[in-house]
A and B are shown apart, each in its own frame.
Chain A
């Protein structure tokens, strides 16, 4: 009996640990202390394609500063995220506004990302129980179920992982009714310093009304090594770095 109990305990403890380890590795790889990047966001909708060029500075997962470079109409618009709050500065009207909670689920810059996607600090490692579903060679599939007290909106996430590079390949998001809501794919992995980074990320919403929609983010420059001036993460920066 004791033998069976020990075996059972071993089964329960071994697998979650392995899955949790994989998640930990991915998060460690993707998240640097500081990160500077420039990227193009290509939003495809019923009305056609639109490209937005972005410059971004971030410190850990809590602070980030985003500046719009293109289109010219939106050039100089800046966003500041500190913890789970978000401000924006619009040069045309010279106003800084805090985005209220009621607007957090609105689309960010017309993309399939919401304002909430931009600010949330949810950590796959801290907020989810990971379970290894399959593993073969350098790929594995994990199932993430949110922890009871985690403030996350998903009911479940299934992640296909590239174990060699410690990057996700594909994430499928389910809502609380366990319906598939959106798929995010990652590709073109490049090495930047000690980090392996998927340079292309594509979000596909599965809602019937958004069947034409896609949001693709192509990273152009990525730098994990340079320390970022803390002045970027202040409200004054919104106006100061807008030009």
Chain B
């Protein structure tokens, strides 16, 4: 009987029902799209940082993360190379040899990171080749040519074709020194990286540093980078005991935490929106219920208990909330799914904001069923909670009081 009464009330007061439906549908839709967009941009920022240079995972000697000096180098790089080659989950990999050395143009000397890379293999692992702004990217047969960050070039006061002297320490700790010619200048937008990094063809750098068949680490990406934890653990099983596989969640801990803090602030701002929505729904329900005071009084006089009244109004909002949340979720999830597959493209954004490390024009959303489910459930609970106060309030009136209520 309560259910049919509730349905009758919904159908009878079309205007009120449609307004409630629209309000809840819009709230659900907005919440799902907002969270999908926030998560999407975080994924995009992480993807940009991962792909700029770091890579999805590294394979290095245990202890290298704490002390990245020559004591923790992979000394038989070919062996690791074979393991990575035979691992089906690994899509691409390349060894890197990182060291710190003194670089000097004509005037000033600057301490910098020098990395030996295999230029052709880096193309599928990082954005280094795409970050070129002047000159040319390296190739696998380059001799003493160097590819340097734009800020480093400014600090050293050098340009493409200029000569740079490098003084560092070779593997046997003797002095390693050489002259390099600037082949290209890159800019990733990551200021520290652009002001402290320089790249040389690894085959050549190995002859200067005496680091043949050695690597600081291998950078790699998997076929399925979305299941990074699982594939990293599986890869670890095939590696020698002294070697470890770590993925970007460890390599970029600071960034991951920054995204977490940003999400937290995102949720705080949206919760303010929720408070507003909650009160809007509550006030709306309050007004609605009180305009029906005479009707409720009559029902009470006819023998319905306050519990029945509560049940009837609760079923009403339950029906309305269910319908609006289902509709809002379907639309919201569709939007999130669509914009995950076909991200919003703001053409020229990457070019304009290259300085800030944005390397893509795309602004994707993130479609995740679990996130959508808890978003929808939150709005659903919010809807139900909003009628508790008005219903309790009207139930305090007696049948006579309710019927006389103006």
List residues of A whose CB falls within 8 A of some B CB. 43, 45-47, 50, 68, 71, 73-74, 77, 88, 90, 92-93, 95, 97-100, 102-103, 106-107, 109-111, 209-210
Q: Is the CB of B167 within 8 A of A88?
A: yes
Q: CA of A107 to CA of B102 in the docked complex: distance in angstroms? A: 13
Which label, helix, strand, loop or mixed, suits the secondary structure of the A interface?
mixed
A-B contact pairs, 28 of them (CB 8 A): A45-B71, A46-B71, A47-B70, A50-B172, A68-B175, A73-B174, A73-B175, A74-B175, A88-B167, A90-B165, A90-B177, A92-B177, A93-B178, A95-B104, A95-B167, A95-B177, A97-B109, A97-B167, A98-B109, A100-B102, A100-B110, A102-B110, A103-B102, A106-B100, A109-B173, A110-B172, A110-B173, A209-B63
Whether A97 lies near B102 (C-beta < 8 A) is: yes
**What residues of A have a CB within 8 angstroms of the CB of B71 in the complex?**
45-47, 209-210
Contacts of B173 in A (CB 8 A): 43, 45, 50, 107, 109-111
Q: Mark B91-114, 1 if CB is under 8 A from A, else 0.
A: 000000000101010001111000
Q: Mark B240-269, 1 if CB is under 8 A from A, else 0.
A: 000000000000000000000000000000
Find out whether the CB atom of B174 lies under 8 angstroms from the CB atom of A74. Answer: yes
Residues of chain A with a CB closer than 8 A to B179's CB: 93, 95
* B104 lies within 8 A of A97 (CB): yes
Interface hits, B283-313 → A, CB 8 Å: none
Q: Is the CB of A110 within 8 A of B167?
A: no
Contact of B212 with A by CB under 8 A:
no
Chain B nearest CB: distance from A214 CB in Å? 13
What residues on B are CB-neighbors of A92 within 8 Å?
A: 177-178
Q: Which residue of chain A is the closest to B66 with respect to CB atoms? A: A209
**Which residues of the partner chain A approach B178 to less than 8 Å between Cβ atoms?**
92-93
Of chain A, the residue at the smallest CB distance from B172 is A50
Interface residues of B in 169-189 (CB under 8 A from A): 169, 171-175, 177-179
Expressed in whole angstroms, the Cα–Cα distance for A45 and B110 within the complex equals 27
Residues of B near A73 (CB, < 8 A) are: 174-175
Q: In the assembly, what is the distance between CA of A74 and CA of B168, in Å?
A: 12
Considering only CB atoms, which chain A residue lies closest to B171 in the complex? Answer: A47
